[in-house]
A and B are shown apart, each in its own frame.
Chain A
Amino acid sequence: MKILLAEDDGETADYVAAGLKELGHTVDLARDGRDAFMLASGEHYDVLILDRMLPGMDGVALIKAMRGIGNTTPAIFLTALDGVGDRVIGLEAGGDDYLVKPFAFSELAARINALTRRPRGIAAETELAAGAVRMDLLARRVTRSGEIIDLNPQEFKLLEFLLRNVGRVVTRTMLLEGVWNFHFDPKTSVVETHISRLRAKIERNGEPPLIRTIRGAGYIVDG
């Protein structure tokens, strides 16, 4: 994938760029907002990673300008500003995701994957599936090899989020934000508890697990 990284802090930029290159992406680096805008409007990128506070033109102004000229490249904001209001401003300006500094690199990688493979502008699906598990979004019913599994609303939401991201790592924070709309880190094992309960309902002993734990990163449901 071709990625534009707009970040004015040299060390962070080098660290992120090196990590992304290691994952096989091509990375262009812009050190200020104007350079980023020139690059982003002139070339095709698969994803934009924008620092919220860039010299020359800040991330919000940049994404507004990009959306203004009809560019729909998915964009992730990196920011040190962690407030609900800041998040809302970033997303309303046209950002697609929001990552608060400091972040783990695996978190950024997972979010890039989630963003770029998300079917953009395609009609909503009515059925999700992985392995032997099928989820009917209209009837709100989950079956495993044809057998109905009874899930409560929380478990249903969690499974839906995982199935929508089949083949991609989802991190703990992504689950907290995407499933429960928690924009903070609870002190207790909310994510782990719900994952283990869901596993207990949809997985069978002796068969390969549907939800795999990726140590230090998160969870993945293989396609």
Chain B
Amino acid sequence: MVDGPARITPLWRSAALRTVGISGLLFLLSAAVVFLLLYRTVIGTVEDQLLRLAETQAHALARGVDPEEPAPPEGGWTVAHAPGRYRVVITSAGHVLLNELPLRERIIGPIIASPAELKSILVHEQQLDDSGIVGFGLTGPAGSYVFVGHKDDQVSEIRESMLRILGAGTATVIALYMIVGLFMGRRAFARIARMNAVAAAAMAGDLSRRMPVSAGNDEVDDLARQLNRMFAALERSVAALRQVSTDIAHDMRTPLTRLRQRLDELRAETSPAGRQALVQRASDEVDKALEIFAAMLRIAQIESGVARSQFASVDLSGLLRELCDIYEPVFRDSGRELRARIADGVQLAGDRALLQQLFANLLDNSIVHTPAGTVANLELKKLHPGWIARLQDTGPGIDRDSRNSVFDRFVRGDASRTTPGSGLGLALARAIAETHDLVLAIEDGTGFSIVVEPVDNASQP
């Protein structure tokens, strides 16, 4: 197990280097096979030519040495002697007239009856300076045996030069592959090392670093991009979590401090009625703290996107109509008015309960943060494509500066400091909107106007 900062892998264990090495070996192997075939063919051709030359000369010699006791050619046998050529003439009586072969004992002795046999012996056993003799022997019409052979100097020369080429080629290829391999290995190695460093930093708690993505756009870049997305998502969730902790610590202090005060007062209070009242107030403070806690957790849960897995098609038109039916009497009984204009057939993928809570929160807000006599209009319009929902009221609205901060946790417009609520309503609404890819925004105009629409709408020209 490797933990802590990334351990440096030795270069020779680098995957890139290994790949280059293996492909180099394969290349050498296939080059060797090709070379061997070529070598065989070239050598074979040369030997074949020598053999045919020997055959022609043997026939000519046989014609010259017949009949039975052939006389040496004019000038004697030695005249025709040429370096690298070996002649053998044996009469039918077994008398060796001429033997230019360097190792006589091989030829002398029992008469070699078959030219093929002699040839095989000569070619394969008469080794001279590492090279052999290629020759042809035949029995003439009068029974004399004639052989002409050639030293295969050419063959060994070719062999030598081809081996030299092979050696030099192999060395070059190996050197080339090593240079390329080292270069590539080092490059890949450096990339991986950079990625390792980012991962190590992430493990150590720094999620802000990103892996390098090269212009090459290869599979490693794909991986790096994917990991970068992962780090970004992680960074967001960690930041959200940190925010939640800070917010909880911050806002729980108020009800908990008050609770403590109530308990202190309770210690001093002697009348049963007074104690009863203080217990009730203490219990209210606890409820408030618990409510904040539950709302925070819920926001965190929604922001983490767990609900997405259970998304189904939701009839938004029906949902809003039902909410209007539920809220219309609440508006009326509180001295306000709710008017609705809901278009038919607006659907979206989502969680019904969460969407219900989103719009219920907006309606609740409209009641809680406006004076009596306010008229609120809830409108759902179909656009092509998309839709837009708008809740607008004739209340005092909100000043421009606090417009964006109302969506933050615990922030409430100055005017609403004294009104009830945890200050989490709009933060929750926005968390729900975001998990549904919806935009929640406050609009300009008289009163308070808030719109909900799909993110896609906003990107329309």
| B326, A84: Cβ atoms closer than 8 Å | no
Of the 9-residue stretches B207-215, B244-252, B327-335, B446-454, which lies at the interface with chain A?
B327-335
Please encode chain B, from 285 to 320, with 1 for each CB lying within 8 Å of some chain A CB and 0 for all others: 000001100100110010000110110000000000
Residues of A within 8 A of B301 (CB): 83
A183 to B361, CA, bound (A): 12
Decide if A187 touches B421 in the complex (CB within 8 Å).
yes
Q: Decide: B298 and A189 in contact? CB cutoff 8 A.
A: no
A185 to chain B: which residues have CB within 8 Å? 291
CB-defined interface of A91-124 with B at 8 Å, one 1/0 digit per residue?
0000000001010000000000000000000000
Determine whether A10 belongs to the interface, using a CB cutoff of 8 Å to chain B: no
Q: Which of A33-41, A60-68, A136-144, A192-200 contacts B (4 or more CB under 8 A)?
A: A192-200
With both beta carbons as reference points, the residue of chain A lying nearest to B310 in the complex is identified as A85
Q: Which of B310, B351, B420 contacts A187 (CB 8 A)?
A: B420
Interface flags for A20-48 (1: CB within 8 Å of B; 0: not) read: 00000000000000000000000000000
Residues in B332-368 with C-beta less than 8 Å from chain A: 333-334, 351, 353-354, 356-357, 360-361, 363-365, 367-368
> On chain B, which size bracket covers the interface?
20 to 34
A180 touching B306 in the complex, CB below 8 Å, given contacts A82-B297, A187-B368, A187-B425: no
Contacts of A194 in B (CB 8 A): 326, 329
The docked-state distance in angstroms from the alpha carbon of A80 to that of B238 is 22
Q: Is the CB of A152 within 8 A of B364?
A: no
- What mask results when residues 157 to 193 of chain A are scored 1 for a CB within 8 Å of chain B, else 0? 0000000000000000000000011111111111001
- Complex alpha-carbon distance, A197 and B334, angstroms: 13
A1 interface residue per 8 A CB criterion? no
Query: Known contacts A85-B306, A194-B329: does B367 contact A188 (CB below 8 Å)?
Result: yes
The answer on a CB contact under 8 Å between A187 and B364 is yes
Tell me if B325 is interfacial: C-beta within 8 Å of chain A.
yes
Flag B396-425 by CB within 8 Å of A: 1 or 0 each. 000000000000000000000000110001
Q: Given A84-B353, A187-B368, answer yes or no on A193-B330 (Cβ-Cβ < 8 Å).
A: yes
Inter-chain contact B364/A186, CB cutoff 8 Å:
yes
Expressed in whole angstroms, the minimum distance between the Cβ of B278 and any Cβ of chain A is: 17
- Please tell me if the beta carbons of A154 and B326 are within 8 angstroms of each other in the complex: yes
Asked whether A154 and B325 contact (CB < 8 A) given A82-B297, A85-B307, A187-B420, the answer is yes
Query: Is A88 located at the chain interface by the 8 A CB criterion?
Result: yes
In this assembly, does A146 line the interface, its C-beta being within 8 Å of a C-beta of chain B? no
Closest to A84 in B: B353
Q: A153-B325, A187-B368, A187-B420 given as contacts; is B298 within 8 A of A82 (CB)?
A: yes
Q: Which of B290, B306, B307, B364 contacts A188 (CB 8 A)?
A: B364
Residues of B within 8 A of A152 (CB): 325
- Chain A: residues with Cβ within 8 Å of the partner, total of 25
Inter-subunit contact A196/B310 (CB<8 Å)? no
Query: In angstroms, how far is the closest chain B Cβ from the Cβ of A105?
Result: 13
The interface residues of chain A lying within 8 Å CB-to-CB of B367 are 187-188
Q: Is the CB of A188 within 8 A of B353?
A: no
Minimal Cβ-Cβ distance residue in B for A180 = B326
A84-B310, A84-B353, A187-B425 known; A193 and B329 CB under 8 Å?
A: yes
A-B interface pairs (CB < 8 A), number: 66
Q: Are B360 and A186 in contact, with the CB atoms below 8 A?
A: yes
Q: Kindly state the separation between the CA atoms of A186 and B329 in the bound complex, as whole angstroms.
A: 14
Q: Nearest Cβ distance between residue A83 and chain B, in whole angstroms?
A: 5
Interface residues of A in 71-88 (CB under 8 A from B): 82-85, 88
Q: How far is the CB of B330 from chain A (nearest CB, A)?
A: 5
Contact across chains for B326 and A196 when beta carbons are under 8 A apart: no
When C-beta atoms are compared, the residue in chain B nearest to A153 turns out to be B325
Contact present for B330 and A83 (CB under 8 Å): no
Residues of B within 8 A of A189 (CB): 330, 333-334
Known: A181-B356, A182-B360. A82 touches B294 (CB 8 A): yes
User: B296 → chain A, closest Cβ, in Å?
Assistant: 11
Chain A residues within an 8 Å CB radius of B364: 186-188
Chain B residues, Cβ within 8 Å of A188: 327, 330, 334, 363-364, 367-368
Query: 13 other contacts beyond A85-B307, A197-B333, with CB at 8 A cut-off?
Result: A83-B301, A85-B306, A154-B325, A183-B357, A184-B360, A186-B360, A187-B367, A188-B327, A188-B334, A188-B363, A189-B333, A189-B334, A196-B333
Query: Top 6 closest A-B pairs, CB basis?
Result: A187-B364, A193-B330, A188-B367, A193-B333, A84-B353, A184-B357
Query: Which residues does A use to contact B, with CB under 8 Å?
Result: 82-85, 88, 100, 102, 152-154, 180-190, 193-194, 196-197
A-B contact pairs, 13 of them (CB 8 A): A82-B294, A82-B297, A83-B307, A84-B310, A85-B306, A153-B325, A154-B326, A186-B364, A187-B361, A187-B367, A187-B368, A188-B368, A190-B327
